[in-house]
């Protein structure tokens, strides 16, 4: 590390932690369970969302273990082994999608950081925020309880006390398997997902209102940090798309319970109609997953390279473009369904259009690095890994958006590899980087950077080991959702399985690092990294109402007004530079980060 | 068009990037497009990784403590939007063109009906001489003749995928989805010319894989069969042999093979292991109870009914899962199955007209010599 940024870990004297902050504002259990403080709600989400991640991750390990060799592993009875596997991959997908990825960045970091970044005291509707959390908890309980007890059901052969029948339809619930053929707990699982959807909708609504109404004086739209642009675009999708999922799930329930005949071909329905309904939400849903990650990366790259973002307007508006275009491409999940060639062509063409704003973001991030001053701290490492992994994930989307190649690659491991590169390699890396980045602000303590870097590298290696080979397996024809496979594919599966175990090692290291940092980490300064978004203008952890002194709004990426604190670690504002910057931006009068 | 040819040539001269053999007329074009996308992807990936890694090193804080002032460059933004857009448009255009070729059969050929059910593929062919239709559980295809698949499912959505032919289409119940292939590569061995079970099994092993690739339940991963491509005269001979499984074989042998090829094996064991359906061990001739409490004897009539109308009576402890085989298994085939069942049941009469002298419990071994 350079002499300008003293080694945080060798600080001789502890800094002073603020006496009163949001964590010790009121310590009773009730003050946590009934809190209206967006920061505490963010933490409540953090606990539950990380628990969901653990559950989803365990089942990923289980299913990859089954795939170590062809033939059944977890039971000598083949039928039981395949049923177990089907429950495993369904559980993994459903828990990860509905309980982890969709809420992760918006509900944890959006809740915590967004109001502070806006210089506000809280979100627009704090009670609605708490309601969102409890809806999430209730939906999660339904879903997780049913899915987990379903695994027991398969093992034992009948439902265990008050247990559910699990879910073996895949997280996509395709009809008519889910309405007619599956004997799993489709109704209860659907109910869980239905409830969870409302948490997402209400959070989105809250954020939209917050961004419109609670921006401070001087923060025009084009002076907002890019994390807020990204969260705003995400919120638009959450509000517009999730209700479609809710209705689709209701129709699924009606079909299964009442045999209405919407999807069942034997009574006049159309199974492919379900796919249209489902993907109309679920494709925008993947942008709910990735847009906040994009926002995080913009913040991580600028802060840790101390350079103003390159192409601010393009990044901001590309988020909106992706959000809107994302509603028009759902049919690219259905190229082989029997849909007309005309429909296929339109969906393929529009799918390509989304590649451009995504690529533009990546180019702008890389351009930001030019001429910058990079500190390869843990959050920055995750951001740089993100760029690499998202590049691969995005480029392999081209193979799938192209009609001729998608016919071959659809429903093979190529698709599995592609979406794990964007959902895990990109979104998860951004999420972990974000937690490291805002950890000092949230908890007032620093994590060990060296351990963090080690965890990042191990996760990166394990991740690529697991999923890079799956592109090859898929191109060679290995189908998805197979519990067993022809011998020729075994080497691919074994490499993947080893990689999965390495990922879990990386996850344990990361978790360990966070726990150690939380209880025994060195005290964090107000601005450990030198960023200029408004959360760094307040103490770590922040006071209950976020700011003891109203912050001055400037360009969020004007990092130069901060310089290293000669007395300790972290960065402090240089008053002359700050005044000069304020004068410059007021003089110009326009909003606008360059 | 030149570009079109270029894509075909690229594909024909190489296997593509880790792609299976090319066994259909469309495979070279598909592989050509894979090459194009891979090359574009590798170029952009190298550029992005390269610049990122280089900048991470060149502009690390210890070497560049003062960052440059903010920058933006609208020209650059436009250029790096337009160039990818152009490359992507080519991708879309040729992908679509090839897809249209995949959608429209170039000339008339033969039609094979695809019958899919949980968890077994079967195909209905037309006998080359008599014009009668018959069912066979593997694909037999003529080289250089277009084949149209008319596909139906009796239960859930399946998907027929032949990787070497780069073709895939969902099989949707309630619809008759169609797809066509023009096989261009003959299989390496012809099992219909084999002279021993081992040779037969080895020959089928070298045929092209056919997968179900839309998740369809418990044994989705076992819903696999093979596609054999033969020159046209050998193809016709193969059909003749395949159309008559009874020729030169005992009913028990045919019944044993039907146990596998009709998919009975996915739910009914032959050694007593519990499964989705009652085990066939000691089934024939036994008495038992239905779910409504009434009792039954598993005689020929009962077995016939349970294959054609499985939901009419359910054995106690089992649910209405099985789909009817009416139209797929005729009386003669059911007789064969019954004869096979007799050989593994202690309740069966000691001597039956078609049973072999020694009644040993057969293993689920590959089919006997020459006939299929």
Beta strand residue intervals within B109-266, DSSP E: 110-117, 120-126, 133-136, 139-142, 147-153, 158-162, 167-171, 177-181, 208-212, 224-230
Are the Cβ atoms of B168 and A305 closer than 8 angstroms? no
Which of B82, B213, B320 to probe the A interface (max A CBs under 10 A)? Answer: B213
Ramachandran class of A261: left when φ > 0, alpha when ψ lies in -120 to 50, beta otherwise: left
Strands B224-230 and B139-142: parallel
Residue of B150, B218, B265 to mutate, interface with A, max A Cβ within 10 Å: B218
Residue B252, pLDDT above cutoff 60: yes
The sign of the torsion formed by the CA atoms of B294, B298, B300, B306 equals positive
CA of B176 to nearest chain A CA: how many angstroms apart?
9
Helix (H, G, I), strand (E, B) or coil at A19: coil
> Do A534 and A119 contact (CB within 8 A), yes or no?
yes
The answer to whether the Cα torsion of B353, B356, B358, B361 is positive or negative is negative
Q: Is the pLDDT of residue B370 over 50?
A: no
Q: CA of A301: which chain B residue's CA is closest?
A: B56
| Nearest CB to B220; choose among A388, A410, A482 | A482
Which three-class secondary structure state does DSSP give residue A185?
A: coil
Let me know: does A190 contact A253? Beta carbons within 8 Å.
yes
Q: Hey, are the CB atoms on A367 and B92 less than 8 Å from each other?
A: no
Cβ-defined contact of B174 to A372 (cutoff 8 Å): no
User: Which residues of chain B does A532 touch, with a Cβ-Cβ cutoff of 8 Å?
Assistant: none
Which pair of tokens denotes residue B170?
């969902």
Contact A265 B172 (CB under 8 A): yes
DSSP-derived secondary structure for A445-495: BPPPHHHHHHHHHHHHHHHHHHHHHHHHHHHTT-BSS-SS--GGGHHHHHH
Assigned fold of B2-103: Helix Hairpins (1.10.287)
- pLDDT at residue B200 tops 60: yes
Tell me the pLDDT band of A20, cut-offs 50, 70 and 90.
confident
Residue A464 forms contact with B (CB below 8 Å): no
Question: In this structure, what are the phi and psi dihedrals at residue B345, rounded to the nearest 5 degrees?
Answer: -125, 130
pLDDT tens per residue across span B263-301 = 898 889 898 888 888 999 999 999 999 988 899 999 999
Q: Which DSSP symbol is given to A412?
A: B
Look at A308 and B88 and tell me if their CB atoms are within 8 Å: no
Q: Is A305 on the interface with B (CB under 8 A)?
A: yes
DSSP string, B188-234: S--GGG-SSHHHHHHHHHTSEEEEE-S--STTGGG-EEEEEEE-HHH
Overall average pLDDT of the B130-143 stretch? 94
Coarse DSSP helix, strand, coil percentages of chain A, rounded to the nearest 5 percent: 70, 0, 30
Flag if B84 and A395 touch (Cβ within 8 Å). no
Contact between B220 and A559 using a beta-carbon 8 Å cutoff: no
Residue A321 contacts B, CB cutoff 8 Å:
no
Our CA-based measurement puts residue B307 at a distance from the nearest CA of chain A, in whole angstroms, of 19
Q: What does the pLDDT read at residue B72?
A: 82
User: Which residues are within 8 A (CB) of A188 and not within 5 positions of it... i.e. 6 or more apart?
Assistant: A142, A146, A164, A165
The C-alpha angle A464, A470, A475, rounded to 5 degrees, equals 140
List, in sequence order, every beta strand (DSSP E) within chain B: 110-117, 120-126, 133-136, 139-142, 147-153, 158-162, 167-171, 177-181, 208-212, 224-230, 287-289, 295-297
Q: Name, of B22-26, B248-252, B360-364, the range with top average pLDDT.
A: B22-26
pLDDT at B5: 53
* B124-to-A112, B93, B134, B231, B338 alpha-carbon distances in Å: 62, 36, 5, 20, 23
Interchain CB distance below 8 Å, B99 and A356: no
Note whether A120 and A546 are within 8 A (CB): yes
Mutate which of B27, B28, B39, B62 to disrupt the A interface (most A C-beta within 10 Å)?
A: B62
Cβ–Cβ below 8 Å for B169 and A398: no
> Which tens digit of pLDDT belongs to each residue from A55-100?
999 999 999 999 999 999 998 888 899 999 999 999 999 999 999 9
Residue with tokens 């009163």: A20
Residue B2 banded pLDDT, cuts 50, 70, 90: low
For A459, the token pair is 């996760």
- Closest chain A residue to the Cα of B33, Cα to Cα: A405
Residues 89-118 of B with CB under 8 A from A: 89, 91-92, 94-96, 98-100, 102-103, 118
Please state the pTM of the whole predicted model.
0.90
How does pLDDT run across A229-245, given as a tens digit for each residue?
A: 999 999 999 999 999 99
User: Are the Cβ atoms of B96 and A479 closer than 8 angstroms?
Assistant: no
CB contact under 8 A, A391 and B55: no
Q: Give the pLDDT confidence score for residue B7 in this predicted structure.
A: 52
What distance in Å separates the CA atoms of residue A21 and residue A402, rounded to the nearest whole number?
A: 53
Could you say which architecture CATH assigns to the domain A22-588? Up-down Bundle (1.20)
Mean pLDDT value of segment B165-181: 95
- Cβ under 8 Å to A: B residues 122-141: none
pLDDT above 70 covers what percent of chain A? 96
Q: How many CB pairs under 8 A join A and B?
A: 287
CB distance A398–B49 less than 8 Å? no
CATH of domain B251-343: 1.10.760.10
Mean pLDDT of chain B: 87
DSSP 8-state code for residue A556: T
Mutation pick from A404, A559, A594 vs chain B, by most beta carbons of B within 10 Å, is A404
Nearest to A375 by CA among A309, A435, A445, A307: A307
Share of chain A above pLDDT 90, in %: 83
Under 8 Å between Cβ of A211 and A224:
yes
- Name the superfamily (CATH) of residues B110-243: Cupredoxins -  blue copper proteins (2.60.40.420)
> What would the pLDDT profile of B343-369 be if each residue is shown by its tens digit?
999 887 765 555 454 444 444 444 444
Rounded to an integer, the average pLDDT of A16-35 is: 87
Question: What average pLDDT does this structure show over A146-172?
Answer: 90
Is some CB atom of chain A closer than 8 A to the CB atom of B170? yes
Which pLDDT does position B317 carry in this prediction? 84
CA distance A584 to A469: 52
Nearest residue, CB atoms, B161 vs list A266, A479, A484? A479
The tens digit of pLDDT for each residue in A348-397 reads 999 999 999 999 999 999 999 999 999 999 999 999 999 999 999 999 99
What contacts A557, CB < 8 A, 6 or more positions away?
A225, A302, A307, A308, A309, A312, A532, A593, B70
* Chain B (297-356) residues lying within 8 Å, Cβ to Cβ, of chain A: 319
Whether A110 shows a pLDDT value over 80: the answer reads: yes
Q: Which whole number is the average pLDDT over A529-545?
A: 92
Instruction: For residue B48, list chain A residues with Cβ-Cβ distance below 8 A.
Output: 362-363, 366, 387-388, 391
CA distance A194 to chain B (A): 23
Residues of A in contact with B86 (CB under 8 A): none
Q: Are strands B110-117 and A571-573 parallel, antiparallel or unpaired?
A: unpaired
Which helix (H) or strand (E) element contains residue A360?
helix A341-369
Residue ranges of alpha helices (H) inside A402-448 are 403-409, 413-420, 429-443
pLDDT at A556 over 60: yes
CA distance A481 to chain B (A): 6
pLDDT at B177: 95
3-state secondary structure of A21: coil
What is residue A15's predicted lDDT score, i.e. its pLDDT? Answer: 54
Nearest-CA distance from A388 to chain B in Å? 6
Region B231-242: mean pLDDT is 94
| Mean confidence (pLDDT) of chain A | 92
Q: Taking CB atoms and an 8 Å cutoff, what residues of chain B touch A560?
A: 67
- Contact (CB, 8 A) for A166 and A153: yes
Which residue of A177, A388, A404 is in closest CB contact with B30?
A: A404
Looking at the predicted structure, is the pLDDT value of residue B249 above 60? yes
**Which pLDDT belongs to residue A593?**
46
Cβ neighbours around A76 below 10 Å, total: 9
What are A278-333's pLDDT values in tens digits? 999 999 999 999 999 999 999 999 999 999 999 999 999 999 999 999 999 999 99
Which of A350, A388, A407 should be substituted to probe chain B, the one whose Cβ sees the most B Cβ atoms within 10 Å?
Answer: A407
pLDDT at A3: 40
State the Cα–Cα distance between residues A83 and B26, nearest whole angstrom: 37
A446-494 confidence digits (pLDDT tens)? 999 999 999 999 999 999 999 999 999 999 999 999 999 998 899 999 9
Instruction: Give me the pLDDT at residue B16, please.
Output: 45
Q: Is B298 left (phi over 0), alpha (psi -120 to 50) or beta?
A: beta
On the question of pLDDT at A16 being above 80, the answer is: no
* pLDDT for residue B45: 97
Q: Which residues of A touch B65 (CB under 8 A)?
A: 2, 4, 373
CB atoms within 10 A of CB A386: 28
Is A410 in contact with B99 (Cβ distance < 8 A)? no
Structural domain spans, chain A = 22-588
Cβ–Cβ contact B248 with A under 8 A: no
**pLDDT score, position A467:** 98
Q: Which helix (H) or strand (E) holds A571?
A: strand A571-573
Cα A126 vs. chain centroid, distance in angstroms? 22
Could you tell me if A417 lies within 8 Å of chain B, comparing CB atoms? no
Q: Which residue has the tokens 């998805």?
A: A480
> In this model, does residue B13 exceed pLDDT 70?
no
Residue-level pLDDT at A590: 43
pLDDT at B3: 54
CB contact under 8 A, B56 and A369: yes
For chain B, give every domain's residue range: 2-103, 110-243, 251-343
Test mutation, B53, B156, B216, chain A, max A CBs within 10 A: B156
Tokens of B183: 């096989």
A366 touches chain B (CB under 8 A): yes
Question: Rounded mean pLDDT of A98-109?
Answer: 96
Same fold, B110-243 and B251-343: no
Q: Does A481 touch chain B (CB under 8 A)?
A: yes
A183 vs B contacts (CB less than 8 Å):
319
Q: Facing residues of B160 across strands?
A: B169, B212
Task: Name the helix (H) or strand (E) containing A217.
Answer: none
Q: How far is A24 from chain B (nearest CA, A)?
A: 37
Mutate: best of B94, B95, B166, partner A, most A CBs <10 A: B95
Q: B65, A308: Cβ pair inside 8 Å?
A: no
Is the ipTM higher than 0.85? The answer is yes
pLDDT at A577 over 90: no
């Amino acid at each position: 590390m350079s002499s300008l940024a003293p080694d945080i870990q060798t600080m001789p004297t502890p800094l002073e932690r603020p006496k009163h902050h949001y964590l010790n504002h009121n310590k009773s259990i009730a003050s946590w369970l009934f809190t209206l403080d967006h920061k505490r709600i963010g933490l409540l989400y953090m606990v539950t969302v990380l628990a969901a991640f653990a559950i989803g991750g365990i089942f990923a390990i289980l299913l990859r273990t089954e795939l170590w060799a062809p033939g059944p592993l977890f039971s000598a009875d083949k039928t039981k082994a395949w049923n177990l596997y089907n429950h495993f991959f369904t559980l993994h997908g459903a828990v990860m999608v509905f309980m982890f990825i969709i809420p992760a960045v918006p509900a944890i970091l959006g809740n915590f950081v967004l109001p502070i970044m806006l210089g506000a005291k809280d979100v627009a509707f704090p009670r609605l925020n708490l309601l969102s959390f409890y809806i999430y908890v209730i939906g999660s309980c339904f879903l997780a309880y049913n899915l987990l007890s379903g695994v027991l059901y398969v093992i034992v052969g009948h439902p265990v006390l008050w247990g559910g029948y699990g879910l073996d339809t895949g997280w996509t619930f395709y009809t008519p398997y889910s309405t007619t053929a599956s004997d799993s707990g489709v109704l209860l699982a659907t109910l869980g997902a239905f409830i969870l959807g409302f948490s997402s909708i209400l959070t989105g609504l809250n954020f939209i209102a917050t961004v419109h109404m609670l921006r401070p004086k001087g923060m025009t739209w084009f002076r907002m940090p890019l994390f807020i642009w990204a969260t705003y675009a995400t919120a638009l999708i959450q509000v517009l798309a999730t209700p479609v999922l809710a209705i689709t799930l209701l129709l699924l329930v009606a079909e299964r319970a009442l045999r209405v005949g919407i999807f069942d071909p034997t009574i006049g329905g159309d199974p492919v109609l379900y796919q249209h309904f489902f993907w109309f939400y679920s494709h925008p849903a993947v942008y709910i997953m990735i847009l906040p990650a994009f926002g995080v990366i913009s913040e991580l790259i600028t802060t840790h390279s101390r350079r103003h973002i390159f192409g601010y307007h393009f990044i901001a508006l590309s988020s909106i473009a992706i959000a809107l275009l994302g509603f028009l491409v759902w049919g690219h999940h259905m190229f082989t369904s029997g849909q007309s060639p005309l429909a296929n062509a339109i969906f393929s063409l529009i799918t390509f259009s989304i590649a451009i704003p995504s690529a533009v973001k990546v180019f702008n991030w890389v351009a930001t690095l030019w001429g910058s001053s990079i500190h390869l701290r843990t959050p920055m490492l995750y951001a740089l890994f993100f760029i690499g992994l998202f590049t691969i994930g995005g480029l392999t989307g081209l193979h799938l958006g192209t009609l001729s190649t998608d016919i071959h690659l659809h429903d093979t491991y190529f698709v599995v590899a592609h979406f794990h590169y964007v959902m895990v390699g990109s979104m998860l890396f951004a999420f972990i980087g974000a937690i490291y980045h805002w950890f000092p602000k949230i908890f007032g303590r620093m994590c060990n950077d060296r351990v963090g870097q080690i965890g990042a590298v191990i996760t990166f290696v394990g991740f690529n080991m697991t999923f890079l080979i799956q592109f090859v397996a898929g191109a060679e024809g290995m189908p998805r959702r197979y519990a067993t496979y022809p011998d020729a594919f075994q080497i691919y599966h074994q490499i993947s399985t080893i990689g999965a175990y390495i990922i879990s090692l990386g996850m344990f290291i990361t978790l360990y690092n966070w726990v150690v940092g939380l209880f025994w980490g060195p005290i964090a300064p107000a601005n450990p990294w030198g960023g200029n978004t408004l959360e760094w203008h307040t103490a770590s952890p922040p006071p209950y109402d976020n700011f003891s002194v109203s912050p001055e709004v400037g360009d969020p990426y004007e990092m130069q007004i901060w310089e290293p604190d000669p007395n300790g670690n972290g960065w402090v504002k240089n008053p002359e530079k700050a005044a000069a910057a304020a004068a410059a931006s007021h003089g110009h009068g326009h909003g606008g980060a360059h | 068009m030149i570009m079109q040819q270029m894509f075909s040539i690229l594909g024909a001269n190489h296997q593509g990037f880790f792609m299976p053999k090319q066994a259909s007329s469309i495979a070279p074009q598909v592989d050509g497009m894979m090459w194009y996308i891979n090359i574009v992807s590798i170029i952009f990936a190298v550029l992005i990784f390269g610049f990122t890694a280089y900048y991470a090193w060149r502009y690390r804080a210890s070497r560049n403590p003062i960052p440059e002032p903010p920058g933006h460059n609208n020209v650059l933004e436009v250029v790096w939007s337009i160039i990818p857009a152009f490359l992507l448009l080519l991708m879309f255009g040729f992908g679509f063109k090839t897809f249209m070729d995949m959608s429209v059969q170039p000339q008339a050929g033969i039609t094979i009906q695809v019958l899919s059910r949980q968890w077994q593929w079967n195909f209905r062919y037309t006998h080359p001489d008599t014009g009668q239709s018959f069912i066979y559980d593997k694909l037999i295809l003529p080289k250089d003749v277009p084949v149209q698949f008319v596909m139906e499912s009796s239960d859930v959505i399946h998907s027929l995928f032949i990787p070497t032919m780069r073709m895939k289409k969902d099989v949707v119940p309630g619809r008759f989805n169609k797809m066509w292939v023009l096989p261009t590569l003959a299989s390496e061995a012809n099992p219909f010319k084999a002279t021993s079970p081992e040779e037969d099994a080895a020959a089928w092993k070298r045929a092209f894989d056919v997968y179900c690739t839309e998740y369809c339940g418990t044994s989705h991963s076992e819903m696999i069969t093979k596609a054999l491509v033969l020159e046209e005269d050998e193809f016709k001979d193969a059909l003749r042999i395949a159309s008559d499984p009874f020729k030169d074989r005992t009913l028990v042998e045919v019944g044993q093979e039907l146990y596998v090829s009709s998919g009975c094996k996915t739910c009914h064991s032959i050694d007593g292991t519990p499964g989705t359906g009652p085990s066939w061990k000691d089934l024939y001739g036994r008495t038992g109870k239905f779910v409504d409490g009434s009792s039954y004897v598993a005689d020929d009539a009962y077995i016939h009914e349970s294959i054609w109308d499985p939901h009419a009576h359910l054995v106690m402890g089992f649910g209405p899962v099985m789909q009817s085989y009416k139209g797929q298994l005729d009386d003669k085939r059911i007789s064969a199955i019954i004869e096979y069942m007799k050989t593994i049941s202690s309740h069966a009469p000691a001597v039956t007209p078609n049973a072999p002298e020694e009644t040993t419990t057969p293993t689920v071994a590959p089919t006997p010599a020459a006939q299929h």
